[in-house]
Each structure stands twice: as C-alpha cells, then as structure tokens.
Structure 1
Amino acid sequence: MDTNFNYVHVSASERLEEFTKEKLDKLKERFDFIVSAEVFYKTENSTSKDKGRIAEIQLSVPGPRIFASANEENFDMAVSKTISELKTQLQKKKEKMQTHH
C-alpha cells in the first residue's frame, strides 16, 4: 500500500512513520480493498497544554475516500485514535460492499 506522509509545522520523524505504518498495515490486512493512505501530522498552537498534536489520515478505497483525524497530547495517541475511527468506518464500508455482491 502506498503511504504518503506530510508534516505541517512538524519535523519529520522516522519513528512516527514506522508506528503509523504498522497500524496501517494491520488495517490493510483486515480490509484488503484499501488502495493508499495520505497521512498528515500537524501541530496546533492551542492554549490548552494537553492537546495540539493532530493526526489526519485519508484512505483511498473504492467509492468515496475515508477520512479521520484526532487531536491529542502526542502523535502516537492521535494516530491510534485516528486508526480506530478509520477501522469503524472501514467495517461499515465492508459490510455495505458485502450486501451489494
């Protein structure tokens, strides 16, 4: 699966990319219709100290793209939450696809 990593006001991190890739690979194993992923890491200058690390992931799948994002205190938490939201959406999509076959 093609995965593009984009950093917005964040310095690139190989560790973060590996962490995200592992999570995405698990999704890909479960949902083989995923074509590619676009990942964005962003920081938000918020006044609240416990948030501001944003992970956005857009998946290319047959039909409309699937998108989720999360704003957490660190990127690992944001990525995990985003992946979890994507999993829910993918599960719904898979069920819909199966009813059309």
Structure 2
Amino acid sequence: MMELEDYAHFRAELVEISPQSFDINELKEILDDMIRSKVAMEDNMRDSFAELSEVEQTQLLDMLGESGYKDRDWWYRMLMDGPRHRTFPTI
C-alpha cells in the first residue's frame, strides 16, 4: 500500500516538474492513482481501528486529538462515522 502511495506521489511530482510531458489521459490516471492510494490507506486505518476494543479506540482517539493535526471530533468522524470503505479520501 505504501508503495502505491509513493509511486502516485512520484508521478505527481513529475507532473509538477514537466506538465507538458503528459496528456490529459495520463493526468487523469495519475490523479485516479492518487485517490485510490489515499482511499486504500484510509480503509486500512478504519479496518484496523474497528478491530480495537472500545477502550483502545477511545484512547487512540484521545491521543490523535491531542496530536495537534486535527481535533478529536475530526478523527472520530474520519475513523468511525459513515461507511468504513469510501469512494474518496477524507484526508
């Protein structure tokens, strides 16, 4: 999964360096790969989170909320609300 993510970002960096080197279909493919890699990562996070006990989930949400990246409510919505497998990434 990390390799897919790295490859998608590598290709996106190539687009930034030389956008004229890519046609519209290649650009769409690169964007689709980036979306798929983000969705796969989030799905994996949600699946792993769902396997934790309720106490572990609460502790993890508290820790993530204190991390400073996003607040606890955001992490709760990302990991628990809605379908575990989504079409587009949350992050």
- State whether TM-score is above 0.5: no
More strand by share: 1
TM-score, scaled to structure 2? 0.32
Which has the larger Rg? 2
* TM-score, structure 1 as length reference: 0.29
Larger RCO of the pair (alpha carbons < 8 Å, separation 6+) = 2
